[in-house]
Amino acid sequence: MTSCCPGREAEAALCRVEDIPDGGSLTAAVAARPVILLRRGDAVWGYLNRCPHFSVTLNAARGTVLTYEGQVLMCAHHSALFRFEDGLCIEGPCQGAALDALPLRVEEGCVYAGDPQAR
Ligand code: FES
């Protein structure tokens, strides 16, 4: 994880926007909790890396989470599809459920996250 950005109190500096593949994902940790960052162009979204189906991480092994055409991410376990923009499951065994959003802020190309446990 890049530590190029100065963080503020109660925020974690995660990476630069360009560290997240455009249309793809990047896994990280905030306050010792696994999170996933998604990017489409200049837009960045963050979620806890926990599938609402079985409460396991969305990726089968450490590393990136599968994405499709910069629109949805797919859980590696039972192929549930989640929209980038709101984390809603649109297809799969947990259809209608959603990922837990991670509070994010982007400033001058740097991505900052709030504490996911403060929600
Ligand atoms: S654990 Fe994610 S779809 Fe089943």
Q: Which of 48, 53, 57, 59 most suits a substitution to test ligand 1, by most atoms within 8 Å of the C-beta?
A: 53
Residue 76 Cα to ligand 1 midpoint, Å, equals 7
Task: Tell me the pLDDT tens digit for each residue of 52-107.
Answer: 999 999 998 766 789 999 999 999 999 999 999 999 999 999 999 999 999 999 99
pTM (predicted TM-score): 0.90
Residue 76 beta carbon below 6 angstroms from any ligand 1 atom: no
Residue 77 beta carbon below 6 angstroms from any ligand 1 atom: yes
The encoded tokens of residue 29 equal 């940790």
Q: How far is CA 40 from the centre of its chain?
A: 12
